[in-house]
Amino acid sequence: MPTFVYMTRCDGCGYCVDICPSDIMHIDDTWRRAYNLEPDMCWECYSCVKACPMHAIDVRGYADFCPLGHAVRVHRDEEEGIIAWRIKFRSGRIKDLVAPITTKPWGKFIPNLREVAPPTDEQRKSQLLFNEPKYIRLDDGDLYTLESQGLKMRQGVYY
Amino acid sequence: MITTNPFAGLAEYGITPGMMMAFVILMVLAVVVGTALDVLHKKSHKYFFEHEERMKKLATRELSSAEKTSMLIQTITSEVLTSSEFHNPKRRLAHLLKMYGFVLFVLSSAVLIFAYPTTADAPFWAFLWHLGAIMVAIGGYWFFFSLRVDVQSEGNKWWNLKKRDLFIVSLLATVTFGLLWSLFGTVVLFALFIISTAVLFGSVYWSKFAHMFFKPAAAYQKRKLMADGSRENLPPFYKRAEVLDQSTMDLVRDIPKDQKFGLCIMKDEPKHY
Ligand code: SF4
Ligand code: SF4
């Protein structure tokens, strides 16, 4: 379900332009407001919907999911570290979904790539991706198990 | 210098006080007509009231007139007077400079032209006129060269002008030529000042000048819709600790309540260009 902008709510801050991985959120030539210039190319990642501080971006629901009178709205609260969605169905039924933001700082859990040694020639030619998690690698022995890696199955996490 | 009334010397160019006053009245009319045409063309009022009606159906409670008055006052003291809608503090500061500078500039121009048309010695109002112009110039050039979304996020060069730049360019031209004319006093600079002023106030229909009338109305409407329960369909604003406590997922419940995660985009600005 691609996104669209309520131009009257947008204040042209550019957060959606910065964040869109598909580079399709752009600034209109006449009003300096954002718009999704190629909804067909939208990854539907909703980064822009969550990033917009003015709640100006919405999701265009597919007809089978929520035809007419639907709403898919999100509030992303950086101070509280919360992302909350409200899905309103055509019948008026409402579903609220809430999740904590768990963005990690660069360099702590996410490698700070500037400080990582560049790959060797051998690594470049390898079939393996950079930093491929070792428990999905089959090249040095058998399949890894949760136990052998000291991991535990927990509700809400699916390895 | 900045306490001298720049309009006092206009007789030199054969411009009478009456002509200046007529020009000011013409500009006021241009703004009124331009805004009215803008509303008719974009049908902003239609959208505005339709949205309110649609949201009214979702309201869970009726707002009392005392609440509405208090919201109106909050809108004026917060969104209007302190530009609180901007999340980016730099844009907010630049906007405040431009807004207060513009108010000072317009107000003092009117007072100087109507009350002191031939008196060079009007230090208070002349000072406000220069101060207003300088404030607009600081906020405006800051916005124009670095804060404009087309420059900051789109990576366009500042000289790549589009229709959307009509307002800021004519505003900057007005205060810049006004200040230069006050400093050097040549007829060419005066002519450029008058032309840019005419473009600024005469282009309301095509530019975003009229935002100063629409934005407060939209901010007031937003406050009302958040308070009457319709919330423009937005979810409630949760507290992190409550969410972590009430979650049914171990993964979420295990997150320490005071754990701060990484910076998000509002604090950690992207820099691609
Ligand atoms: S949903 Fe993702 S891909 Fe689509 S416009 Fe928004 S940021 Fe871009
Ligand atoms: S993030 Fe929202 S307010 Fe900012 S430019 Fe995009 S749509 Fe407009």
- Is the Cβ–Cβ distance between A97 and A84 less than 8 Å? yes
Interatomic CA distance for residues B67 and B263, integer angstroms = 36
pLDDT per residue as tens digits for the range A28-77 = 998 899 999 999 999 999 999 999 999 999 888 776 666 667 888 999 88
Helices B123-142 and B89-115 cross at an angle (nearest 10°) of 150
Please name each of the domains of chain A with its CATH number.
3-100 (3.30.70.20), 118-159 (no CATH)
Residue minimizing CA distance to atom 2 of ligand 2: A52
Interatomic CA distance for residues A98 and A81, integer angstroms = 11
- Is the Cβ–Cβ distance between A71 and A85 less than 8 Å? no
Q: What pTM does this model have?
A: 0.84
Please state, for a pLDDT cut of 90, what percent of chain B lies above it: 60
3-state SS assignment for residue B123:
helix
The more confidently predicted of residues B248 and A17 is: A17
Q: Mean of the pLDDT values across residues B62-71?
A: 94
Contact yes or no for B154 and A105 at CB 8 A = no
The reported pLDDT for the residue numbered B129 is: 96
What type of residue sits at position A62?
Y
pLDDT per residue as tens digits for the range B17-29 = 899 999 999 999 9
Interface membership of B152 toward A (CB under 8 Å): yes
Interatomic CA distance for residues B72 and B105, integer angstroms = 26
The more confidently predicted of residues A109 and B194 is: B194
Q: Are strands A25-27 and A34-36 parallel, antiparallel or unpaired?
A: antiparallel
pLDDT per residue as tens digits for the range B150-162 = 888 888 899 999 9
The reported pLDDT for the residue numbered A92 is: 81
Report CA(A47)–ligand 1 centroid distance (Å): 6
**In B83-227, which ranges are continuous DSSP H helix?**
89-115, 123-142, 149-152, 166-184, 187-202, 211-227
Q: Mean of the pLDDT values across residues B119-139?
A: 94
The reported pLDDT for the residue numbered B44 is: 83
Q: Is the pLDDT of residue A155 over 70?
A: no
Contact yes or no for B261 and A154 at CB 8 A = no
Looking at the DSSP assignment, which residues form a beta bridge with residue A59? A3
- Is the Cβ–Cβ distance between A13 and B91 less than 8 Å? yes
The reported pLDDT for the residue numbered A159 is: 45
- Is the Cβ–Cβ distance between A87 and A74 less than 8 Å? no
Q: Is the pLDDT of residue B125 over 50?
A: yes
Contacts of A23 (CB under 8 A, 6+ apart): none
Interface ipTM: 0.85
Percent of residues in chain A assigned helix, strand, coil, to nearest 5: 15, 20, 65
Looking at A85-89, B32-36, B167-171, B176-180, which range is the least confident one? A85-89
Among B162, B206, B265, the residue to mutate for chain A (most A Cβ within 10 A): B265
The more confidently predicted of residues A99 and A144 is: A99
Q: Is the pLDDT of residue A108 over 70?
A: no
